[in-house]
Every structure is written in C-alpha cells, then in structure tokens.
C-alpha cells in the first residue's frame, strides 16, 4: 500500500509530523538540560512538566473544533493547510533555537500541539475514504508502526545534533511533509453543510456524547487511551529506571527506546497479518494480558536486578544475565501494545458513522489527554510518596491487568472463544476449510448448516469468524444450558408457530446481519440430510442475500449425536468444517407467495445436497476409500456377505484382497486390464479390490452375452487374462465359453488355484500388518482420474464398447447419491444385480461397501422365489432391481417378505404402473425409480423419499449439468446430454482397441428423449439412439439389422421397438425378404453365438420399406406401424 497514492503520501505526511513533534520537544529539553539550565536542574525538571502540559493543552481545548472541521471540509485540503502551518511553526521554532529563547520555543511547542490536535482526527478518518475495508487494518498498522518509529527517530536525532541544527532539520522535514501533502487524493466532506459549534465546552461535551453512544466505539476509545497513557508513562520512566535500578548510562535508555519503538511497529504489523485484514477485536484481550504480564514481570525483573558494573555501557549492561530478562519484558510490552492498539484504532474508523468519524477520533484525543493527565498525577504522587520506579511500573502492570480482565469480560468472544476453539481443536482435531468464503462483518448473508449433533452450535460459534447470529427456537434460547455459550454467538429467538418469525429474520438480514440457520430444523437421526424447511431459502430470497453453505462432518460420530445404534460413535472423532463459496438463486416470474416459498425451499435443498457432494472426498482411489471406510466404521464392521452367509469384515476383506492382489500382480503388469468373470459372491469383491490394491484395472465381463461378444469385449479392452472360479464355471455350465476364450489365446486363472498359492506365513504376516496393503497401495501413487474399472455396453455395430470409469467417476456417483438419499451403517443392502451391470457395481456394491453398510449378494436376479425369502432372512432394508425382476419378485413373494425394506430402487428400464401398484398394495412400499447409463457410473437421476413423482425418473443428482437438444419430428422433449464428475473417462471401441475415446468437452449423449419440468423431475419420453432396453440390457438395433443382412443379404431390413409389459421393449423387424421368418433368424443366432435377446420374435414383410424425403429410412413411421 505504501506505493499507492491513496495511502503512501498520507503515510509520509503522518511520519514527518510525528517526527517533528518529538524532534522539537526533545531538542528543547536537551537544550535546557545540557545548556541553558545545566546548573539549575530544578528549572529543567519544571520545563519538562510545562512543555508536556503545553503540548497536551490543545487536545483539551480544540479537539472538538478539530473534529467538527475535519468532517465539514475536504480532508486532503485540511491536511495541506495543517502542513503549511507546520512550516510556519517550525520557522518560529528555528528562531527560538537560534536565539536560545525558551519562551519562543514553548510557543512553537504549543502551536505544534494545536497542529497535532487538528491533524489527529484527519489522519485516521481519511483512511476509510481512501482504503478498502479489508485494507483498513493494514493501513492502520502501518500508520501506528510509522508513528512510533518517527517518535523514536525524532527523540534520537534531538540528542545527536546541536539544538539549532535540530531546528533546521525540523524546517526541512516540514517542507518535505508539505510536498507530500500536495499528493494526498481528495477526501470530500461527510457533513459539508453542518455548522461548526465554536463553543469549546459545549462542542467537547457533544462529541464525547457522540462517541459514547456506540458501545464498541467507546470501549475502543477507552482501550486506546489506556495504552497511550501506559506507554507515555513507561517511556518517561525509562531514564530513571536505567540510571537508578539498572545502574546504566543514558545510552541504555536509547537502547530501550529503540527496542520499544521497533517492537511496537512489529506488533502493529503482526496483528494485521494475523487478522488478514479483518477489522476485529479478537486479539485485544490476549494482547492486553500480554501487556500486563510484561509490565508485571518488568517490575519483578528490575526489582531483582543486581548491578554488576555501575554506570554500565550498553556492552557492559547486556553481559549482565538479568539484562536479557528486562529487555525481553520491554519487547513483550511493546509487541503486545502494537497488537492491542491497531485493532482498536481500526474499530474507531470502521464502526463510527462516516459523518461523525472525525469527531469520534477527536473525542478519542480528548479522552487520551484526560486519562494521561490523570495517570501522570497519580504517578507523580506515588513517586513523591517514595515509591520506586519499578514499583510504579508494577502498579501500572496490575492496573493494565484489570483493564485486560475487563476486556475479556466485555469481549468474551475473543479470549473465551480462543480457549473453546483450542479445546475443540485438541480433542476433535478440528479441520476448517474455506473460511475466506464467510461474509465480512456487516454483510447480509444466510449461512445454512447441516445439523448432526448437539455439538454443532458450539463448533460453529468457536470457529466461525466474529460473533455469528444463530436463529434459535425461542424455548431453546431461554434454556439455562445455552446461556454460557451466548458469549460465542448471538441468539436470534424464533418462534416457529409465529408467522411473523420469518419476517423478523428477513428484517435482521436486510440490516446487515449474517444469520446462521439449520434448515433441517432438527438433529439428523439418519446421518444424512433430512427434510429441509422452506423458511431459510425464503429469508435469503426476500432479503436479497447470498446463501453460504457450511458442511459439518464428524459430529455424527460423537456421543452428542442421535445416531446411537446406527453408526460407530466414539469419544473423539475427527471433525471437519467446510465453508463453501457464497451462492445466490434467482426466482423469476410472477407467482403466489406459496409457490415462491416452495421454489426457494427446493433450491435451498439442492444447494445443501450439492454442498454434501462438493465436500465429499473424491480425490482418491477406490482402495484408499475402502481404507477410509474401515477407519470410520471400524475394522470389525461386517460389510460383505453372500449365499454362504459367512460375512466378511473390513479387516478380513482388506487382508484377503491384499493377499490375492499379490498373486494377481505376479500374473499381470501394472496398469494392465484384467477380466473378471464372476457372479455375485464375496469372491468377486475380494478379486475386484485385489486388482485395485495392485494398480490393475478390472474389466467386468458379462457371462450372458455369448462367446462372440465376450471375445470382442476382451479384444476391445486388450484383455489377455481372465479371472474366474471353477465352481462358478461348473455350476453355470460355462465350460464351452471358457474353452472358446482359451482358443482365442486368452489366459484363464482360477481363484481356487490363486488361493492355494498363498502360504501360511504370508497369511500370518498379513494378519500382523493390517495396514500393509494400504501403505503399499499408496506407494503406487495412482491418480484418482486413472481407470478404475471397465464395463461393457453394446456398440452401434453390435460389437461391445468398453466404458472406462475412473476412480473419481465412481466415487463421485457414490457421493452424489449420498447427497440425496439417507442411509447409514444400520442398513442392509440386498444386491442380486450382477456386478458386471453398472447399477449392480456402483449402487449395489461400492455405495454400501464404502459407507459401512452390509451388502448381501445373490448370484442371480432371476430366482424370483429365493430373492424375497433372502430379503426376509437378511432383514434387508435396501434393494435394487429392474422392473422385470421386481415384477417377478412380487408374484412369488409373501406379503411379509419385504417387512424390513425402507427403499426399493429401480432402474435400467421403465417401471410399469402395474408393478408400482402391486408393491404399494401388497407390500406397502413405494418404488423409487431412477435413471442412469453405464457412461455415467451409472446414476443420473433418481426419485427419493423427499422428492418423488410417479412416472418420472426423479431429479438430476448434484453436480450434473444437463442440456436438451431438439430432435426433428419430436415435439415433446429433447435429446439429453449430460456432463459431470461421474461421466466416464471415455469409450474403448472395437475399431481402435485400447485407445481411450473421451466424450467431447465432457458431454455425453444419452440418446434419450426426455422432458424436465419446472421442479426438476426428468421423464423419459423415448429414445433417439437406436437402442432397445430389453430386460435391462441394451440391444443395438443396427446390429440386429446386420444379423438379418447376413441371413438375407439381398433384402432391406429395419428394426424398431414397441412396449412390452414384461421385458420393457420388444423388437419388431420389417424386411423385404419374402421368405423371412423368426425361426430361421434364431437358428442362425444359435450357430453364431448371438443370444435370443438380441433377435426379434416378430418379423413383418413389406414390399418396400418407408423412406423420408432425404432417402433415409422412416423409422418413425415404422415405429407407429409396429405399435398397431
């Protein structure tokens, strides 16, 4: 700032003025003591008192006028007038030194007192007009540092040069000051038309009343006055302290003055660095205690000081062991003083009304002078009564201690807050991020926080800046137990039953208050977001204030939460507080107040769920996330179980994956893609994480697609090794498939063989070094954006496409779901969807596993009688399925089989009304339909208990961007494109094996025609891409046309779909082949490894296929024909 015109010139002007004040005063005293009155010490002592009195007298007489004048004319102009007067005053002073006239010099000193009286209000009140709010602390610190260095410089120079040379120097400095005054930018008057009250006494009384009406301003004035009084007394007592108690020469006094002035400058700059520009009294009580402690210890150290060398020089003095303690005390006093005074001066500048700012600073000068005179009289009386100089300093220290304790009481949010904050940091290892996003004091904002425990208010009160205002229910605000904590925050009582409560909150925010609200209105009992009330969103909307989301994470694991029996609570879990950037939501258009309130509430919920996502860790690998889950939920937590009903804990899973991973590493290279051909059993989870542990990429192979497609998938992903299990191959009758893979040159490894190779010592060592696998994995330094898994989906030409999902993609989708759905470790997931299905992998496996939820795997979703029985036996609370599977379960299940279910999530195909109605009537359950794509890891949108609309697929998950593009011939809806952290890294295509094809600019074309209503619900209207979803599986229509072309190469073929009540969609083929029939096509499929699912059962023969004007086949028309 010193290089900027809006501050630099004013700094120089102030520095030169303070320098001249002290140069003139001390040159006069040195002239009297060592010249004019060298033989008359009594006159010299009297002159010291008179000179001090004459310099202070103008502060009493003219401060009121100075404050009024400074508010009524341009301050830059006033600065120039004052500096011009200083040149004249120094001319008088130079004449006094030349003629050695004490009377003339005292006149000049009195006039400099008037100069300082007029300049005092200007030098501080001009800063807020030239500096930004966040620069005021820094500017004030520099002014204070410069002032004390100028005082020191003036005093030292006065003792080094003859008196008349001091006069010349003062004259030159005054001229330099005037030159810089000409550079000060304009500062227009704040009360230009208000008359000046020339009655000194009435004016003085008035500005004291003005200053007193602001409690914070008046306390700051008292604090400033005490510091200047204590500093003035202390500096005046350095000389007798050094010559008497310390037995040293005058040069040691100069050393003390240097230490004192430089340390004050350092303290002034340090407090600005600590506060980072914030105007706050946070460090005032602590600094006052430091100031008191330094003075008290200086009394003790000086009293106990043993003089070794009388009349010691600086070199001799510092060899005395006691000298270092004395000098340390001086430094502590000065540094504490600098940290004490700067925030108080900044408060004077910012908290006083702009039109009264100069008067308030003038009032401060009056009080300064009054307190100084009073304390000087008391000190004089003490010295007259025989009290030693150290005794005076000790008395001053205890008086300062009283001031410090009063400041602690008056400003409890400072020291008390520091103690509470330090305690919480110690026991909960509190980590705070994003505090720079909090609004500054006086800025309107609504801070919204998730509510996890009874500890939340204490955490926020201790760590949020300043003294935040909490919206608290009236009955809680009156409770006895909350009273002690009101020192940390202000309570804004709110009666939820009073319709005026919301209006009161809006008014408070409009007045510039930052209101902290828990929008859930209660402590969570699920560990996730609960219902979010509309009120806080409406308050932000009505008050035109930004929302500041604050995420608490960790208090739910403390004993102060309401999560007993649902999470592993413990004494001292780590707590994180994250403040996100401010955000606004605009509500446009004409609507009723009720509609506006509902929109505000919905937008607030979206912001809070986005907050949960944004603060969830996705910058790590899946294996690291598994390790973190073990740390949070405990190594003994049971998380994986299959039909053998032998659950695996985190410890056993990590041990097994670590051991198996080492064997797999011997058979593969780092980063290599390894195929996994396994059903839903515990072994697939162990193998999956075993590959993750060693930095290999598992490719989940679909064992139902037939040999041709599997070989194509392996070639596309450059898979050379496939891991399976003999028991699975035998039971699923996959021997021919395995033989076919081996015939194509792929190597097949069996889990049974790999497990047999693990030695007993390796198992024992693994059990002893539980954290070994995690440490070894971290040494691999795998990027979160590296491939984590490869899944497969049908390609446009019928060959499978590899979908590469990164660690971040999968963890992001888990975090997106966690931001919208409440679940906790007391839940049990039943997952019968195969893990080669993206829904089965992310929703049914990774999401529960990484959140401490036990997952029960079942190998086939087609066992309609067994799956419901397993849900009953396992006490499942969450189940995943497709409409086809759910309809099958409903037919076979007993009405009580699903008694424990909380949520049923359906995806992959549209949920029919009949299925929805059956579950509501037979089981009393609501199916939560969702929508996804393998390319989105997979969930894009989902209905939730809080936001549900039958027939839709729910609302988009947090952080997913969507755009709709028009499709010719489609009137309702548009083609959906999505972008977000869960969207795949890219495709692997058969035409370019192993080459990643990332989505253009991150956007993925879903190929679906959708509508999105005003509340955000997505409804699927059709498909733009030529795919069909049959039984949850994607079937490429061009590929089916290609199969027909191989059977009837001379004919034209077109395949469309129509709804099917059981499978979701049904293929219908139109052809010009007169002999075409379904049996011939199915026979060809069996011979060539193409499953029946991908072949139409209905074939219609036409003379010619309908075409558009462009010559392209008219699929829309054929779709209508198929539906007839």
Residue-by-residue DSSP string for 608-622: HHHHHHHTS--SS-H
pLDDT beyond 90 at 551: yes
Largest alpha-carbon pair distance within the chain?
138
- Cβ(420)–Cβ(457) below 8 Å: no
How confident is the model at residue 967, as a pLDDT? 75
Q: Is 966 exposed, middle or buried (0-12, 13-18, 19+ CB in 10 A)?
A: exposed
* pLDDT above 90: percentage of residues in the chain: 33
The residues, any chain, with a CB within 8 Å of residue 573's CB and separated by 6 or more, are 428, 554, 557, 558
Closest CA to 245 of 307, 201, 155, 332: 307
Closest CA to 336 of 404, 286, 395, 402: 286
Query: Which tokens is 963 given?
Result: 């755009």
3-state secondary structure of 1030: strand
Return contacts of 329-332, CB within 8 angstroms, 24+ apart. Answer: 329/294, 329/295, 329/297, 329/298, 329/301, 330/256, 330/259, 330/260, 330/263, 330/294, 330/298, 331/259, 331/263, 332/290, 332/293, 332/294, 332/297
Q: Confidence class of residue 797 from pLDDT cuts 50, 70 and 90?
A: very low
Closest CA to 1023 of 1039, 1041, 1036, 1014: 1036
How confident is the model at residue 746, as a pLDDT? 94
How confident is the model at residue 253, as a pLDDT? 76
3-state secondary structure of 979: strand
How confident is the model at residue 1110, as a pLDDT? 40
Q: What is the spatial distance between Cα 156 and Cα 1083, in angstroms, rounded to a whole number?
A: 109
| Mean pLDDT, the chain, whole residue set | 83
Q: What is the spatial distance between Cα 904 and Cα 895, in angstroms, rounded to a whole number?
A: 15
Closest CA to 883 of 823, 835, 825, 839: 839
| Strongest mean pLDDT among 207-216, 388-397, 485-494 | 388-397
- Cβ(301)–Cβ(326) below 8 Å: yes
Residue 479 zone, left/alpha/beta (φ > 0; ψ -120 to 50; rest):
beta
Q: Is 377 exposed, middle or buried (0-12, 13-18, 19+ CB in 10 A)?
A: exposed
Rg of the chain, C-alpha, whole Å: 41
Instruction: Write out pLDDT tens, residues 723-742.
Output: 999 999 999 899 999 999 99
Q: In this structure, what DSSP letter does residue 194 have? A: S
Q: What is the spatial distance between Cα 957 and Cα 1064, in angstroms, rounded to a whole number?
A: 24
How confident is the model at residue 796, as a pLDDT? 37
pLDDT beyond 80 at 840: yes
Query: Which tokens is 931 given?
Result: 């929508």
How confident is the model at residue 681, as a pLDDT? 93
Q: Where are the alpha helices (DSSP H) in 783-843?
A: 807-818, 838
Which of 115, 451, 633, 947 is labelled catalytic?
451
Q: What is the dihedral of CA 243, 247, 250, 251, to 10 degrees?
A: -150
Instruction: Write out pLDDT tens, residues 447-459.
Output: 999 999 988 888 8
3-state secondary structure of 444: coil
| Strongest mean pLDDT among 400-404, 408-412, 867-871, 1034-1038 | 867-871
Q: What is the spatial distance between Cα 30 and Cα 984, in angstroms, rounded to a whole number?
A: 82
Instruction: Write out pLDDT tens, residues 585-618.
Output: 777 777 787 888 888 888 888 888 999 999 999 9
Residue corresponding to tokens 């036996």: 873
Q: In this structure, what DSSP letter does residue 1089 have? A: T
Can you tell me the mean pLDDT for 502-517? 81
Higher pLDDT, 433 or 199: 433
Report phi then psi at 622, rounded to 5: -60, -40
Q: What is the spatial distance between Cα 359 and Cα 344, in angstroms, rounded to a whole number?
A: 16
Higher pLDDT, 488 or 801: 801
Higher pLDDT, 929 or 215: 929
Domains of the chain plus CATH, in order, are 1-185 (1.20.1250.20), 200-410 (1.20.1250.20), 429-614 (3.40.1130.10), 622-1018 (3.40.50.12780), 1026-1123 (3.30.300.30)
Closest CA to 904 of 889, 914, 892, 498: 889
- Cβ(539)–Cβ(446) below 8 Å: yes
Is the N-terminal amide bond of 938 cis, ω within 30° of 0?
yes
- How many separate helices (H) and strands (E) can be counted in the chain? 39, 33
Query: Which tokens is 615 given?
Result: 């603060």
Q: Minimum mean pLDDT among 593-602, 918-927, 985-994: which range? A: 593-602
Can you tell me the mean pLDDT for 647-675? 94
Closest CA to 550 of 434, 656, 649: 434
Closest CA to 59 of 207, 263, 253: 207
How confident is the model at residue 931, as a pLDDT? 93
Q: Confidence class of residue 808 from pLDDT cuts 50, 70 and 90?
A: very high
Opening angle at CA 252, ends 249 and 253, nearest 5: 100
How confident is the model at residue 185, as a pLDDT? 81
Q: What is the spatial distance between Cα 524 and Cα 556, in angstroms, rounded to a whole number?
A: 8
Residue 1026 CB neighbour total at 10 angstroms: 19
Q: What is the spatial distance between Cα 561 and Cα 554, in angstroms, rounded to a whole number?
A: 10
- Cβ(736)–Cβ(1089) below 8 Å: no
Closest CA to 831 of 1035, 639, 623, 1028: 639
pLDDT beyond 60 at 200: no
Q: Is 646 exposed, middle or buried (0-12, 13-18, 19+ CB in 10 A)?
A: exposed
Q: What is the spatial distance between Cα 487 and Cα 413, in angstroms, rounded to a whole number?
A: 6
How confident is the model at residue 474, as a pLDDT? 62
Q: What is the spatial distance between Cα 703 and Cα 783, in angstroms, rounded to a whole number?
A: 30
Judge whether 212 counts as a catalytic residue.
no
Q: Minimum mean pLDDT among 181-190, 521-530, 1029-1038, 1058-1067: which range? A: 1029-1038
Q: What is the spatial distance between Cα 448 and Cα 548, in angstroms, rounded to a whole number?
A: 6
């Amino acid at each position: 700032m010193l290089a900027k015109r809006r501050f630099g010139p004013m700094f120089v002007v102030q520095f030169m003025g303070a320098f001249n004040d002290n140069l003139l005063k001390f040159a006069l005293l040195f002239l009297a003591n060592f010249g004019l009155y060298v033989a008359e010490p009594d006159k010299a002592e009297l002159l010291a008192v008179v000179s001090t009195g004459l310099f202070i007298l103008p502060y009493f007489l003219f401060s009121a006028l100075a404050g009024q004048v400074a508010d009524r004319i341009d301050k830059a102009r006033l600065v120039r007038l004052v500096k011009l007067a200083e040149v004249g005053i120094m001319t008088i002073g130079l004449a006094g030194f030349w003629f050695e006239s004490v009377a003339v010099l005292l006149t000049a000193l009195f006039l400099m007192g008037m100069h300082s009286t007029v300049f005092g209000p200007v030098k501080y009140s001009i800063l807020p007009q030239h500096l930004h709010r966040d620069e005021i602390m820094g500017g004030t610190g520099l002014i204070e540092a410069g002032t004390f260095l100028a005082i020191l410089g003036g005093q030292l120079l006065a003792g080094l040069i003859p008196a008349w040379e001091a006069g010349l120097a003062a004259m030159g400095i005054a001229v330099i000051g005037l030159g810089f005054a000409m550079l000060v930018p304009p500062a227009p008057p704040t009360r230009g038309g208000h008359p000046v009250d020339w009655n000194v006494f009435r004016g003085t009384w008035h500005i004291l009343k003005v200053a007193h009406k602001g409690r914070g301003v008046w306390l700051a004035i008292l604090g400033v006055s005490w510091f200047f009084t204590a500093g003035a007394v202390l500096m005046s007592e350095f000389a007798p302290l050094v010559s008497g108690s310390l037995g040293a020469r005058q040069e040691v006094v100069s050393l003390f003055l240097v230490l004192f002035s430089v340390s004050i400058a350092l303290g002034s700059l340090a407090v600005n660095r600590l506060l980072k520009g914030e105007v706050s009294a946070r460090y005032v009580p602590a600094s006052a205690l430091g100031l008191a402690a330094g003075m008290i210890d200086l009394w003790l150290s000086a009293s106990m000081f043993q003089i070794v060398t009388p009349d010691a020089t600086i070199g001799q003095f510092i060899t005395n062991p006691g000298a270092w303690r004395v000098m340390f005390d001086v430094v502590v006093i000065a540094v504490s003083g600098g940290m004490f005074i700067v925030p108080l001066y900044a408060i004077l500048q910012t908290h006083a009304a702009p039109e009264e700012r100069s008067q308030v600073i003038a009032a401060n000068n009056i009080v300064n002078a009054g307190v100084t005179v009073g304390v000087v009289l008391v000190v004089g009386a003490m010295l007259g009564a025989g009290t030693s100089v150290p005794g005076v300093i000790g008395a001053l220290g205890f008086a300062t201690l009283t001031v410090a304790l009063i400041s602690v009481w008056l400003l409890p949010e400072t020291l008390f807050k520091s103690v509470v904050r330090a305690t919480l940091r110690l026991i909960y290892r509190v980590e705070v991020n994003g505090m720079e996003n909090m609004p500054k004091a006086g800025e309107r904002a609504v801070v919204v926080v998730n509510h996890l425990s009874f500890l939340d208010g204490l955490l926020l009160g201790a760590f949020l800046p300043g003294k935040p205002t909490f919206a608290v229910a009236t009955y809680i605000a009156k409770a006895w137990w909350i009273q002690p904590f009101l020192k940390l925050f202000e309570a804004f009582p709110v009666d939820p039953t009073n319709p005026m409560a919301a209006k009161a909150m809006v008014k408070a925010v409009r007045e510039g208050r930052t209101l902290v609200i828990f929008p859930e209105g209660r402590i969570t009992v699920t560990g996730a977001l609960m219902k979010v009330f509309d009120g806080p969103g409406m308050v932000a909307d009505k008050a035109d204030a930004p929302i500041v989301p604050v995420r608490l994470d960790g208090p739910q694991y403390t004993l102060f939460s309401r999560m007993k029996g649902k999470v592993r609570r413990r004494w001292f879990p780590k707590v994180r507080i994250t403040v996100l950037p401010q955000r606004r939501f605009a509500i446009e258009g004409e609507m009723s107040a009720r509609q506006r309130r509902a929109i505000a509430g919905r937008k607030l919920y979206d912001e809070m769920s986005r907050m949960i996502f944004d603060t969830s860790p996705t910058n790590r690998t899946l294996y690291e996330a598994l390790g973190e889950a073990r740390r949070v939920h405990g190594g003994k937590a049971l998380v994986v179980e299959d039909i053998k009903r032998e659950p695996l804990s985190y410890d056993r899973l990590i041990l097994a994956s670590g051991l198996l991973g080492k064997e797999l590493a011997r058979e593969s290279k780092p980063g290599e893609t390894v195929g996994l051909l396994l059903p839903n059993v515990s072994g697939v989870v162990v193998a999956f994480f075993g590959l993750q542990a060693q930095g290999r990429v598992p490719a989940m192979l679909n064992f139902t697609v037939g040999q041709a497609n599997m070989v194509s998938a392996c070639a596309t992903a450059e898979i050379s090794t496939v891991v399976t299990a003999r028991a699975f191959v035998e039971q699923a009758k996959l021997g021919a498939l395995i033989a076919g893979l081996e015939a194509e040159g792929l190597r097949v490894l069996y889990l049974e063989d790999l497990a047999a190779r693990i030695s007993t010592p390796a198992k024992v060592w693994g059990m002893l070094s539980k954290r070994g696998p995690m440490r070894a994995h971290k040494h691999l330094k795998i990027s979160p954006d590296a491939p984590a898994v490869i899944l497969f989906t049908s390609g446009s030409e019928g060959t499978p496409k590899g979908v590469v999902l990164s660690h971040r993609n999968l963890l992001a989708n888990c975090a997106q779901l966690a931001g919208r759905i409440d679940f906790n470790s007391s839940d049990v997931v039943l997952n019968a969807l195969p893990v080669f299905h993206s829904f089965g992998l992310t929703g049914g496996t990774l999401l529960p596993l990484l959140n401490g939820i036990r997952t029960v795997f079942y190998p086939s979703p087609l066992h309609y009688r067994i799956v419901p029985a397993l849900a009953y036996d396992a006490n499942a609370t969450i189940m995943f399925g497709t409409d086809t599977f759910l309809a099958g379960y409903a037919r076979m299940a007993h009405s009580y089989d699903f008694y424990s279910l909380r949520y049923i999530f359906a995806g992959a195909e549209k949920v029919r009304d009949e299925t929805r109605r059956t579950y509501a009537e037979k089981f009393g359950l609501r199916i939560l339909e969702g929508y996804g794509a393998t390319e989105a890891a997979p969930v894009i949108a989902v209905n939730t208990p809080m936001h549900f609309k039958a027939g839709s697929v729910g609302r988009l998950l947090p952080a997913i961007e969507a755009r709709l593009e028009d499709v010719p011939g489609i009137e309702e809806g548009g083609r959906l494109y999505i972008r977000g952290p869960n969207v795949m890294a890219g495709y692997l295509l058969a035409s370019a094996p192993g080459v990643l094809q990332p989505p253009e600019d991150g956007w993925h074309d879903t190929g679906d025609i959708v509508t999105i209503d005003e509340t955000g619900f997505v409804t699927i209207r059709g498909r733009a891409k030529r795919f069909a979803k049959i039984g949850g599986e994607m079937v490429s229509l061009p590929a089916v046309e290609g199969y027909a072309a191989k059977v009837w190469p001379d004919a034209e073929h077109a395949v469309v779909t129509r709804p099917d009540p059981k499978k979701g969609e049904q293929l219908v083929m139109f052809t010009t082949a007169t002999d075409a029939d379904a049996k011939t096509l199915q026979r060809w499929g069996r011979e060539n490894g193409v499953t029946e699912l991908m072949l139409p059962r209905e074939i219609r023969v036409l003379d010619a296929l309908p075409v558009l004007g462009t010559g392209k086949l008219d699929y829309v028309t054929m779709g209508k024909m198929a539906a007839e």
